[in-house]
Structure 1
Amino acid sequence: MPSSISISSSTFVLLFFSFSLVSILPPLILSASVVEDLNNLHPPSDFNSTINNNCLNNPSLRYCNSSSPLDLIEIFKSTIVASHLCNESRNPNCVETFPKIDLHSRPKIAPLYLSFTFFWKYCPLTILSINLSNNSIKGGFPSDVLQCSQIQALDLSHNDLSGDVPIQGFSPLTNLTLLNLSYNHFSESRISDSQFFKRFNSSSFLRSGLVPDHQGFTIKVVVFLFGFPMFVILMVGCLGWMCIRRPDFLPAVLRGGKHKFTPAMLEAATGGFSRNNLVGKSEGVDIYRGSVRDSSQVRIEIYRDEISGEGRRRFAEECKVLVQLCHKNIVQVVGWCDNRRLRAIVTEWTEGENVEIWVARSAPPWKQRLKILMGVLEAMRYLQEQWPQVGYDLRTCSILLSKNRQPLISRFRIGDQISNTRKIYKFGTLVLEMVTNKRPREEFERGEAEFIEWIRMHHPGKVHKVIDERMKKTGNTVDQATQGIGIGLMCADLSRGWHPSFDLIYRMMCKLSDSCQVPASPDHKRSHGDRGEGHRRNQSR
């Protein structure tokens, strides 16, 4: 490297970069990274005299007009950055000219060169165009670039710049004819009041945040005027559809009644009334297992018969009563559906079997059968005292068993007011079915009437012929079963105008239940055995 530089060489450098060292830096500057060169290269020994000679020849150079003492290290580092930046900007001959800084779509290096404040402080006079667009540059306006006051074009569009634009900082840029600050996020400024910015049209500030976006505003107004009413109509339509078809999708405060089900809700709960979910079927009633939106399992009884509008109204009123029933021996009613084409009652799902299957399958002892009857009677008393208008079905096939063997009345006679006499009659029939393990409607030609006559014919002398043969017939058991049959026959006797009250039946059943808890004495067994032997002797005669 030469130890000094000639006046002619200095004049040449003035045309290029206004720095003398650019023409004498080694080739390493053009190939190594700018950061490496800034760290590794140092000014030559005659750098000071070269700078002084340059200022004598061209006093307009930026470092020559600095009010502070010359910082030779900064000026030298500027020459290094300039060499790299000239090549990065694809200038054709960086030894002779440096007309533009073009870092368009160079997001990896643009922020780096913006950080070299010393370069912008001594910005080469030959640079006429700066393009830093489409680099996603964040932060405030890069005010350092405005130190290149001789530029004619500045493009900072398509970045993420924000904050205020330094309006006064643009005043020295008297040669600026092309400006593009579009697609940024600046704070709105009164640039329209500045004489400087009046030379540029609105295309310089599209969606920059500096001026109101009239086109965008118009679009928003149009969208609002047409879109908002459509949105309201759509929302009202959706809410209307949900209110009518799927109120379970609505928030709890908008549902109106949490117990009301629609056909669409029941269809969704049962998988489209799938045969796989059909668990029972009888005259006029289909029973499905379903799952509602809160994932709870339910039992859905669908009534296929058609009723009048007045009948539907009564049905709904009675269902409003059913959802209020609360007793350990009554299935919890979840809700109902009173649609014109579908009526249904929805209750909680019980995994256990019904009493009919339980008795037929497991042949339970008399004590367990009596416990079931007492649970049913407890539920009947509750209904009689608090909800006498509610009817129910007491057949063994409609009484369910919970996991802990509690009986649950599950079928209610909606719209069919059953008299107390009829309720007591049905309980008597239930007692007789539990003792005998018979199905009156299936095993007797004339149904319940013939079934009751058959039992009355054998009671009390031949009662062992009607008691479930699988039940252990100890002396005490036969005695209590005989008493149970007597209560059942008394309840099922419709030939008289008189019928026992609920209280009387309850007292009799409680007494029978209490006696079941006391084991029979040996004398009682012996006397019962003697009596049985006497019966056999009489029969043999």
Structure 2
Amino acid sequence: MVVLIFTGESRVDTWLWAEVLSADAFLAFEAAGLDYSKAVKETGWKFQETILDRGGGKAPLEVFIEFRDDWVTIGFSASTGGVAGQHTLKSWKFNSSLDAKEANENSSRKIKIVVAIAVLVIVLLIGTLLAYVIIRQRKKVNKRAEVTNLTSINDDFEIGTGPRRFSYQDLASATNDFSQDRKLGEGGFGAVYRGYLADVDMLIAVKKISKGSKQGRKEYVTEVKTISQLRHRNLVQLIGWCHERSEFLLVYEFMSNGSLDSHLFGKKSPFPWHIRYRITLGLASAILYLHEEWEQCVVHRDIKSSNVMLDSSFNVKLGDFGLAKLMNHELGRITTGLAGTFGYLAPEYISTRKASKESDVFSFGVVILEIATGRKSTDRMGEESDLGLVEWVWDLYGKGRLHSGVDERVRKDFDEKQAECLMIVGMWCSHPDSSLRPSIRLAIQVLKFETTMPNLPAKMPVPMYRVPTPLVNSREPSISYSSIEAGR
């Protein structure tokens, strides 16, 4: 509704016109005697009341208009025709309910927005509360399941003979509460501490699995179940285990001479050639037991120099069975997912994710080349060379300079025949074609000079499998410079 009010003076008889301009039309019509039907039809406007005084005095006019257009222009005029006259507009006022209506609409719109936001907030709060309740409930269920599982594991472990269960307090006391000065080393899944059990007068090594390592817990269970059943002079002896206070710990016999890599690449004094050769035979003997002499075939999957431990007499003790897999002797390969350490992985294992005795033999070949040369498997041989250890040794072999690859720290005092045999067997075991590698038994026979050495090609064959480049911090199954596990 639009209300137009104006008052004026006219000194003669006059006609007063009201002019209305809509969005599409402009009409002028007489204030008295209007054709209302025409006005409404053509403009959508309607005068509901018209007052006009023709006496030459004041002429107030009040017009009430209903409209249908979105916008309009309103004007007014007066005329005396051919007679002279004077007209004075004293005042005019224009009122409209449009603002009030728009305000009401805006107010209604604001109310709707506020209501919508309130509903959304309530829904979010309810959703958050439900999510919290569900997550908390799942944690409780998982915790109960974990407790049940650990109880089951305890029962399974205690059924067997050999390793015994330790209390956390016993191991904390033995390691001086796992102090830093007792730490022997640290790996991807935890740290190893030196300890002493006073009740049995024994030095021990305690492996403490990292709390946040789910993979470490899996390896913990695998190691206890696997190594507790194995008995061989060249395998690390598992003395006991413990899982209390959300801690997972493994207890081994203490190896006073540490790991093989600490002597080959670390600050410890290098050992002489005859000990190196004896270590090679001891490691081969351990692998032979795993592959052929136990009731099942054990594929170790992580044979490397840092997992070869040495006792006080430099006798080999192969350890770390967290990645080991059991299979029947008649099976060739098992799909396990990629696991191991970059530099020791067979090319076909990287490509197919299938572990086998042959992939273990490849790792063994790399380790004995490290023993012979004193070089790491991941070393680049020279600033301008892209050759890895195996390629480098094979290149020397092709040039007839194999002895020049022997560790210079023992080059003045080594057995040339043994060195040649050791390096040739190392190349043979790390052959790119798995079908051309020897069994570990045959490799031992050659190392003991019980059979002839193989005739290898002068140039290293091209790998038959694609070897992907190691990716740093990749979430995909990949090769790394430390122990890895993906998809097991």
TM-score for the superposition, normalised by structure 2: 0.46
TM-score for the superposition, normalised by structure 1: 0.42
Q: Which has the higher helix share?
A: 1
